[in-house]
Amino acid sequence: MRVLLHTPLKPPDSPVASGDRAMARGLRRLFQRLGHRVVVPPESRVVPGVPPPEAHLALERRARAQAKRLVARWRALPARHPERFDLWFTYHSWYRKPDWLGPTVTRALGIPYVIAEASHSPRRAQGATRLGHRAAERAIAAADLILTVNPRDFPGVRSRMRPAAHQILLPPFIDAEPFRAAATMRRSNDPPLLLSVAMMRTRDKLDSYRVLAKAFARLEDRCWQAVLVGDGPARPAVEALMAPFGPRVRFAGAVPHEELPAFFAAADLYLWPAINEAYGMAFLEAQAGGVPVVAGRTGGVPAVVADGVSGMLTPIGDASAFAAAVGRLLDDPDARARLGCGAAHRIAQRHDERSAARILRIALQKLR
């Protein structure tokens, strides 16, 4: 099967690291693992990033013209041309960056339409976000199959789907093998090493760093060191937050993805407060390497971090509770070891690419 992989938010070849890019690349690997060919015709690409709501009307008009060109191009191509496709697969459609193209193109060509990670937020139906919200609703209603990544999205999306359409839960996934392999080289640190991996952006990311800094301040009487992996426009603000801890907190900057397994293998605990986090790919990577997690209980995080099994979850934004959880694990190496084993086992069973490929294969069979 030839699959058009449409990624409205961020393409797989984006130079900017993020969870969206990681999932787009992972989905491309899943299709290839299953023997399908992934195509990305030039006419299907859109400008990456999140536009302001006031741009949505112009985007919708442009999308109609773009869809018309794409359909005409497809119909003019020979049957075996590499740009021809027989399935449209969109990753991530939501009110801020809906899939404007997929519903129109698939209806015109009579081919299946699949979305992975659609979301529906009724409170966005009014005001400046209404156009994007309606477009996201139209995409959900047009889909033949929706793969829901965040369990929290399941009921809202189901309520807007056609009765004959299918919805299947596809847990977030990674290629766990590089992290498992790196973990075999793990050795104990004295003092223990705390790791966080996240972009340094304003708003939610910076708020998470604020909680992390407050938690570090409550742990100053214990022995620990920390490494922060990531970069971005808010780095000066993050550096200011961490300045009181001096050399105990080291900034590693942006790290190529292929080098991340070594960072996780060197860590004793993975920390991230997860303010408004959807689910967090780095949580999966840490656990795949056998690193227990301390995280904020928000969004889809409880679906990827099992409290008491692979880590500890604390109330969102509560720096005191977050610090207390970290402190308990700093004081108890046996608990860290137990949670680390539970983390590695859980990723292997539920969040590895092999299990995701099985789910995707079964899901695609429902389109026949």
pLDDT value at 187 more than 80: no
What value does the mean pLDDT take over residues 303-320? 97
pLDDT value at 183 more than 80: yes
State the average pLDDT for the chain: 95
Strands 193-197, 225-229: pairing is parallel
pLDDT of 16 reads: 83
The amino acid present at 102, given as its one-letter code, is G
pLDDT of 153 reads: 94
pLDDT band (50, 70, 90) for residue 290: very high
Nearest Cα neighbor of 222 from 138, 87, 326, 321 is 326
Exposure b/e, 238-273, CB count within 10 A at least 16 = b: beebbeebeebbeeeeebeeeebbebbbbbbbbbbb
Within 122-280, where are the H helices?
A: 130-142, 154-158, 177-183, 204-218, 235-242, 260-265
Between 172 and 82, name the one with better pLDDT.
172
pLDDT of 18 reads: 84
Nearest Cα neighbor of 177 from 362, 352, 58 is 352
pLDDT value at 368 more than 90: no
pLDDT value at 200 more than 90: yes
The DSSP bridge partners found for residue 364 are none
3-17, 89-103, 129-143, 344-358 — which is least confidently predicted? 3-17
- Please state, in angstroms and as integers, the Cα–Cα distance from residue 146 to each residue in 60, 236, 300, following that order: 22, 40, 17
pLDDT of 48 reads: 87
pLDDT tens digits, 250-282:
999 999 999 999 999 999 999 999 999 888 999
For the chain, which domains are there?
A: 2-173+352-365 (3.40.50.2000), 177-351 (3.40.50.2000)
pLDDT of 233 reads: 96
pLDDT band (50, 70, 90) for residue 82: confident
Strand, coil or helix: 166: strand
pLDDT value at 237 more than 90: yes
pLDDT tens digits, 118-154:
999 999 999 999 999 999 999 999 999 999 999 999 9
